[in-house]
Amino acid sequence: MGDIDLTHELAFALELAELADRFTLPRFEQADFTLAWKDNRTEVTEADHGAEQLLAAHVLAHRPDHGFFGEEHGLQGNADSPWRWIVDPIDGTSGFVRGIPVWATLIALTHSTHDVHVAVVSAPALGRRWWASAGHGAFADGRPCQVSNVTDLDAAQVSVTFNSGWDDLGLTAELVAIQQRARRARGFGDFWQHCLVAEGALDLAIDAVGVAPYDIAAVRLIVEEAGGRFTDRHGVATHEHPTAISSNGLLHDQIIARLDP
């Protein structure tokens, strides 16, 4: 990358994940938090705020030339830097507050070219961690990730996250049809469905409408480095649009054709 060493930055991202896990996991296990609600009626806790503040402080101390963008506190640091850390301190807060272990800290290092260069997803309550750096593959708990080779939706395992946004687009019935056509359908949601695509356990994951960069930047790179595709519903490879679909690549075009009529 010329001005940056991705191996060094991945090590730093893993360091950030360790910091986050040590902060969030005890609070989850002890239910040591109070619940509040955002204007969009999604949950937030002081664990979300505290984890983000912890990571922001570490980035700004050790990468003062970089920007930092988090779900809870927005942009901090160098707003003019082409390099920006995008963080979701707890992706899956709705599960976190109910004692469901499917939540994670999502960490991505992005460049102003709209590319993701380093990604870590750490899910301490599951005892799982995924990571990737551009051009160097994706890994799950230290093992290389590879997407599946399923080519037919009839044989595919899929995950779909329904919400009112799909109703507004008039595509809920199409999502139901995709599920009915698939060999098996589940609704894992959030980061996990995309990581399962990267591992080859799922063949397709369709996220809720309304996702933001902090929800999907990290998982985008992990899926792509595992050999899959990650796009919006129009087929654009991005983490900056409000829809997100990941797949093994072999199923992708037929799904886009159904969701971008």
Residue 161 sits in a domain whose CATH number is 3.40.190.80
Looking at the structure, tell me whether residues 98 and 130 fall in a common domain: yes
Same domain for 17 and 103, yes or no, is yes
Model confidence at 90, in pLDDT bands (50, 70, 90)? very high
Do 53 and 78 lie in one domain? The reply is yes
Give pLDDT, residue 43: 63
In this predicted structure, what is the pLDDT of residue 3? 73
Tell me how many domains the chain contains.
2
Co-location of 242 and 126 in the same domain: no
In the predicted model, what is the mean pLDDT of residues 63-89? 94
Based on the fold, state whether residues 29 and 66 are members of the same structural domain.
yes
Task: Indicate whether 61 belongs to any domain.
Answer: yes
Question: Over the stretch 36-72, which tens digit does the pLDDT of each residue have?
Answer: 665 555 666 788 889 999 999 999 999 999 999 998 8
- For position 45, what pLDDT does the model report? 79
Q: What range does the domain containing 12 cover?
A: 6-136
Chain center to CA of 247? 14
What is residue 156's predicted lDDT score, i.e. its pLDDT? 98
Give the C-alpha separation, 194 to 200, whole Å: 10
Could you tell me if residue 99 is inside a domain? yes
User: In terms of domains, do 186 and 245 share one?
Assistant: yes
**How many residues does the structure list for the chain?**
261
What's the Cα-to-Cα distance from 41 to each of 8, 18, 58, 92, 172, rounded to whole Å?
38, 29, 30, 14, 21
pLDDT one-digit tens code per residue, 141-158: 999 999 999 999 999 999
Residue 33 belongs to domain with CATH number: 3.30.540.10
- Would you call 173 exposed, middle or buried from its count of C-beta atoms within 10 A (0-12, 13-18, 19+)? exposed
pLDDT of residue 4: 86
- Residue 226 inside a domain? The answer is yes
- For the whole model, what pTM was predicted? 0.95
Classify residue 97: in a domain, yes or no: yes
pLDDT tens digits along 221-240: 999 999 999 999 999 999 99
Is 130 part of any domain? yes
Same domain, 123 and 192: no
Say yes or no: 164 and 79 in one domain. no
Q: 81 and 190 in one domain?
A: no
- pLDDT on residue 44: 67
Percent with pLDDT over 70 in the chain: 94
Query: Among positive and negative, which fits the CA dihedral 50, 51, 55, 61?
Result: positive
In a domain, 179, yes or no: yes
If asked whether residues 130 and 183 sit together in one domain, one would say: no
